[in-house]
Amino acid sequence: MERSQKERVLAGELHMANNSELASDHLRAHDLLARFNATQATKEAERRELLKQLLGSFGEGAVLRPTLRCDYGYNISIGAHTFVNYDCVLLDCNTIGQEDQTAPGAHIYTATHPLDAATHQSGAEYALPVRIANGAWIGGGSIICPGVIIGENTVVGASSVVAKDPSPDVLAAGHPARMIRTY
């Protein structure tokens, strides 16, 4: 039996994002995002409830500030006591560890497209999951590219473009990010 497009998304396989099931999931996510992004600062419990509905998991003591942008939400996991600051883009298939810090304007991309012209032009895409280990700190305006694994306690400098996996316990910065020093 052939997998549905949603099953393909969840399995990290090539899929067509413009099918009706995924379009419905996308609309659901954007309804929840609109409500979350419009909440007043004093409505922390409401924000938390909306994020629990939107995300695959949202850890105890985690904080995520509006605005947030994502595709479906259900492929994103945020660990306990993690802080995600304002104006972040978390394209789905992300796992953010525990006690992580993400500064304003960080973008984590997982969606990617086949390089061969015929498949690319068909509109097919897939996701390469991003994993951010416990204790990491992602600097403001940074871009994390598809498939990257950020090591435990790693600090990514502001405005960095991370295209390769930085090791644990390092400061990585630049375009592209490279190890600056270890801790």
Name the active-site residue from 30, 81, 107, 113: 113
The answer to whether residues 59 and 81 touch, using CB atoms and an 8 Å cutoff, is yes
Closest by CA position to 106, among listed 144, 155, 76:
144
Calculate ∠ Cα 51-153-94, nearest 5°.
35
30 is catalytic: no
The answer to whether residues 73 and 112 touch, using CB atoms and an 8 Å cutoff, is no
Query: β-strand 143-144 against 130-132: which pairing, if any?
Result: unpaired
The residues annotated as belonging to the active site are: 113
